């Protein structure tokens, strides 16, 4: 069964976590990847991180990065599969849209 469509926020969180990253880094990376379109508030981000951990799509890495105890997260194998399925879904949407628009251009 295919995964449900992802929100942009979840999509960019998963994309960010292809490499280990802490919460603030995820917020910054999401904004960079989306060219400023997606800005995650801390509450939204940490709620999403909890939800994604519950689904098994990401995991918190053990140990401490520094004396401020920043927790790092990383995508799991299941999460990567979900992300790959979403990329394929989005590619199909774009392909179908381009084909439909191209046909309308030809009809003019």
Q: What is the pLDDT of residues 34-54, one digit of tens each?
A: 999 999 999 999 999 999 999
- CA distances for 63 relative to 17, 37, 58, angstroms: 17, 33, 16
- Give the bridge partners for 74, in sequence order: 59
Collapsing DSSP to helix, strand or coil, 74 comes out as strand
Residue 107: pLDDT over 70: no
pLDDT at 62 over 80: yes
pLDDT at residue 47 in the model: 95
The class level of CATH for 8-107 reads mainly alpha
Query: pTM here?
Result: 0.86
> How far apart, in whole angstroms, are the C-alpha atoms of residue 32 and residue 80?
20
Strand partners, 59: 74
């Amino acid at each position: 069964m295919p995964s449900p469509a992802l929100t942009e926020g979840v999509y960019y969180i998963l994309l960010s976590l292809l490499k280990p990253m802490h919460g603030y880094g995820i917020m910054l990376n999401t904004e960079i990847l989306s060219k400023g379109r997606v800005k995650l508030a801390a509450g939204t981000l940490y709620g999403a991180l909890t939800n994604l951990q519950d689904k098994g799509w990401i995991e918190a890495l053990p140990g401490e990065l520094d004396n401020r105890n920043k927790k790092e997260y990383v995508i799991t194998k299941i999460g990567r599969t979900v992300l790959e399925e979403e990329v394929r879904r989005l590619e199909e949407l774009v392909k179908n849209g381009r084909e439909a628009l191209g046909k309308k251009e030809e009809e003019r």
